[in-house]
Structure 1
Amino acid sequence: MTPSTADHAQDAQMSVEEFEELARHAPETVSLEFISGKLAVKHVPDQLHGAIVMWLLRQCMQHRPELALYPEQGLKVDSYRRGRARADGALAPLDHYVGQSGEWADPDGTLMVMEVTSYDADTDLRDRVEKRDGYAAAGIPVYLLVDRDAEKLVVYSEPDRGEYRTRTSHAYGSTVTLPSPVSITLETGRLKDYAG
């Protein structure tokens, strides 16, 4: 059963408007997210995290030059789009987010989001559960999780009623074909160099 907008807002720590005001004034050393009615702090990523994002960005550019992987893209997610997540990468047509006002874009037209796990206490709940569910609720077709703890890529697809119906897991070094509408094949051997 899907909660009503009123139920969701009642459980929230603050309103979306209050969150957006707070996020505008956050220091540069963190970025804030608002998922499932809860405030989350996302710390500045480490160098290997950035290298993984750049690796995927280059893969996307080589295979699908008409698309762009937007790093740190703010998206309206969650049930009724009352959440705000900053994806490590959001894959969409080139210039897709141009013209949207503010830093939180509508997710419609986003083909894939990707997250790279961090080595902090919140990554399990944030990247593996809350953001996954928020992206599914927003109808984003593919969620790619680069799980550095497990040294795997986890691909979620086919969002349906706030959940991804399909989940596949691939060890670093595997050939991974991302499902439609992404349709990119990744050779992931390079990720072994970023394990640590």
Structure 2
Amino acid sequence: MTAMAHAPMPTDDEILLDYFLALEPPQGFRAELIDGRIFVSPAPDGDHEDAIDMILSQVYELSKTKMQASGNKGLELATWGASPKDRVIPDITFAPRESRLFRGASSWMPSDGVAMVAEVTSTKPDGDRKAKRLSYARAGIPLYLLVDREKSTTVLFSEPKDGDYTETHLVPFGKPLPLPAPFSFDLDTSEFL
């Protein structure tokens, strides 16, 4: 009798990633994989989209470095050797325009070259406040901008180190929030009121 070769059994992480990648969320919903958990979010409301527009307008008009932005770019984020890697879709992903970072990128791209990600809280604000913050920091994304509608604050997290951001600059809506290079301008948060 001869021994039959068997393919190795997939790991739980491989099964989770396969399941995640096969998901087909309903139209307008967004699926993300963070810290081994799948999050499905409904389509955002109009106030959420208005805040996104205000951020984009200011970055395009005032940033010292010309920026490109994507509101639907899937990022595959390093998770310190953990598998599977986090798969997150920020509300906005910014990169210097000259990098042409998004050109030719697949649905899920690495975060190398991303200058800043931005999130506007929606129905599950704790995910934006903690899970996504930690995921972005672990990936080394230099800046994370959070518009927290429930707390009426805008927060800039910077200096990622050891799995979190070491610097936090929080302002209430209505106060300017300085964005460092490559943006180098004060974000007007009064429009979020």
Q: Give the shorter-chain TM-score range.
A: 0.7 to 0.9
Matches of 2:110 and 2:78, distance apart in 1: 11
Matches of 1:13 and 1:165, distance apart in 2: 32
Which one has a bigger Cα radius of gyration? Answer: 2
Matches of 1:127 and 1:53, distance apart in 2: 15
Normalised by the length of structure 1, the TM-score is 0.84
**TM-fit CA distance, 1:178:** 1.3
Distance 1:87-1:137 versus aligned 2 partners, 3 A rule: same
Counterpart for residue 115 of structure 1: 119
Normalised by the length of structure 2, the TM-score is 0.85
Tell me which protein shows more helix as a share of its residues: 1
Does the CA contact (< 8 Å) of 2:125 and 2:148 recur in 1?
no
Amino acid at match of 1:123: P
Matches of 2:91 and 2:118, distance apart in 1: 6
Matches of 2:70 and 2:150, distance apart in 1: 24
The SS at the match of 1:87 is coil
Matches of 1:130 and 1:113, distance apart in 2: 14
Say which of 78, 86, 90 aligns to 2:89. 86
Matches of 1:107 and 1:89, distance apart in 2: 13
Unaligned runs of 5+ in 1: 1-8
Amino acid at match of 2:109: A
Q: Which segment drifts farther, 37-46 or 68-77?
A: 68-77
Flag the structure with more relative contact order, 1 or 2, with Cα contacts below 8 A and sequence separation at least 6. Answer: 2
The SS at the match of 1:182 is coil
For 1:12-91, what aligned pairs fall within 5 Å after superposition? 12=13, 14-22=15-23, 25-64=24-63, 66-79=66-79, 80=81, 82-91=85-94
Q: CA RMSD in A?
A: 1.8
The SS at the match of 2:47 is helix
Q: Structure 1 stretches (4+) deviating beyond 2 angstroms? A: 12-18, 179-184
Does the CA contact (< 8 Å) of 1:35 and 1:134 recur in 2?
yes
Does the CA contact (< 8 Å) of 2:76 and 2:109 recur in 1?
yes
Distance 1:184-1:69 versus aligned 2 partners, 3 A rule: farther
Matches of 1:46 and 1:72, distance apart in 2: 16
Unaligned runs of 5+ in 2: 1-10
Distance 1:184-1:21 versus aligned 2 partners, 3 A rule: farther
Matches of 2:184 and 2:16, distance apart in 1: 37
Does the CA contact (< 8 Å) of 2:25 and 2:40 recur in 1?
no
Corresponding pairs, count: 177
Amino acid at match of 2:147: V
